[in-house]
Amino acid sequence: MTLDLPRRGLLMLLMAWGLTQGNPVKPSRGPLLTCTCESPHCRGPTCQGTWCTVVLVREEGRHPQEHRGCGNLNEELCRGRPTEFVNHYCCYSPLCNHNVSLVLEATQIPPEQPKVDGQLPLILGPVLAVVALVALGALGLWHVRRRQEKQRGLRSELGESSLILKSSEQGDSMLGDLLDSDCTTGSGSGLPFLVQRTVARQVALVECVGKGRYGEVWRGLWHGESVAVKIFSSRDEQSWFRETEIYNTVLLRHDNILGFIASDMTSRNSSTQLWLITHYHEHGSLYDFLQRQTLEPQLALKLAVSAACGLAHLHVEIFGTQGKPAIAHRDLKSRNVLVKSNLQCCIADLGLAVMHSQGSDYLDIGNNPRVGTKRYMAPEVLEEQIRTDCFESYKWTDIWAFGLVLWEIARRTIVNGIVEDYRPPFYDVVPNDPSFEDMKKVVCVDQQTPTIPNRLAADPVLSGLAQMMRECWYPNPSARLTALRIKKTLQKLSNGLEKSKVIH
């Protein structure tokens, strides 16, 4: 399933067509300003940054919302013109954003008809009513035709395709109208490359919602609707390329896999940026969600079942024209599982994924020097005894990591009024950023696994969840559960919980 060198070159050429390459611009190292901070991501009333910002955003069907905060990267946003959806303002003195108010670009309103005084309206009333009806009919017909022409133009501009995004949830207005899973790059989930580039150029960045070693995640707006933009750091270029390759060669449309929109290499302010544009989920990652939220058993199982459905879909090979190879994730953790608005999970970040097809018996490992997250590594990985030529070995490491994600969910589940604070796996035996050797000692030498909360044993349903974790952590990789077995068992536990609620 991998791309040969000529196809890789073509992919890079199409992504970069029309762009000017350059060195990444580093953020200013001057003194930081104190700015007013008013947004869902603020940790206090003020923040510190290279400049202060005010962003006014209007999403489809909502009133405009104003956010205040600090800026350190992407200063080119400060120079953008206001649109009817977003206005981005920057200033460069302490608290300069405190009393600033912005407006969006006004939409043109047709001038009102001048009022007519005297007896003339009584005489011309019936005539004007008929004229008005004719005018309204003509205006409606013109509006319908104009909309059809716009849609035809958009299809032409985007490669004669009405597909922009694949909406997996009800109620997506423009996204839902434009989505149709029939038009992709042949066998993949992605749009034609030039279409992806066109979509990427239409996205306006609004606010940074996450940072890490990989780069940053921004919330962006595309035609007034939110999308997520993952901007990769230059040192993680292989992860961007791998995700782009997988999404464009594999049919991965599934409710519990993060929805892909576009991938693009863009030049902004003389720096080259690698973008991956996906569906936006405002709850953020499961890691973030569990820190904010305690869980009733029903919600805990809903999160677990949906994540297991996503993993099972990755692991299974599907044959036929709408098929897909088997995929192992290799970096499964709560930070790479997102929580959707319907409180189901979807799996993200395929930068380390491995693909395998039984027909050709070809194992596509990719070419990424990055390794997975040490805290979630299985013992055979830490001991460097994993069979790298065997695809099943990679699936078994995913199962180990999935057991740790289940443990994170279980800690935050309320049983008999008792719940624990969020903690990452092995929090009590390794430091915050454990080394390879730290994890090897705990997992391989001491053969420790996370302590399962005792209160789960008191619940007939959640005790099954505890047993499942143990079966994910067998030292012998081949003895661990399969993703399909985990999915079916969790569904059975969830159904059992529903029935017990009905009885009570």
Tell me the pLDDT tens digit for each residue of 401-410: 999 999 999 9
* Mean pLDDT across 446-451: 96
Q: CB under 8 Å, gap of 24 or more: what pairs does 205-210 form? A: 205/74, 205/77, 205/229, 206/55, 206/57, 206/86, 206/88, 207/39, 207/41, 207/55, 207/67, 207/69, 208/41, 208/73, 209/41, 209/284, 210/284, 210/285
Structure token digits, residue 56: 């006014």
- Judge contact between 31 and 58, C-beta under 8 A: no
The domain segmentation of the chain, as residue ranges, is 33-91, 196-280, 284-497
- Judge contact between 163 and 182, C-beta under 8 A: yes
What's the pLDDT score for residue 112?
52
Q: Which residues pair with 87 in a beta bridge?
A: 56
CATH topology of domain 284-497: Transferase(Phosphotransferase); domain 1 (1.10.510)
Q: Which of 34-43, 122-131, 258-267, 281-290 has the lowest mean pLDDT?
A: 122-131
| Active-site residue, 446 included | no
CA torsion sign, 144 to 149 to 153 to 156?
positive
**What band does 195 get if pLDDT is binned at 50, 70 and 90?**
confident
> Closest Cα to residue 106, out of 77, 88, 78, 85?
85
> Closest Cα to residue 11, out of 275, 265, 222?
265
- The second-level CATH assignment, the architecture, of 33-91 is Ribbon (2.10)
Q: Is this structure's pTM higher than 0.85? A: no
What mean pLDDT is reported for the chain? 82
User: Is 499 annotated as belonging to a binding site?
Assistant: no
CATH number, span 196-280: 3.30.200.20
Determine the Cα–Cα distance for residues 114 and 97; give it in Å rounded to an integer.
42
**Per annotation, catalytic residue among 236, 331, 349, 364:** 331
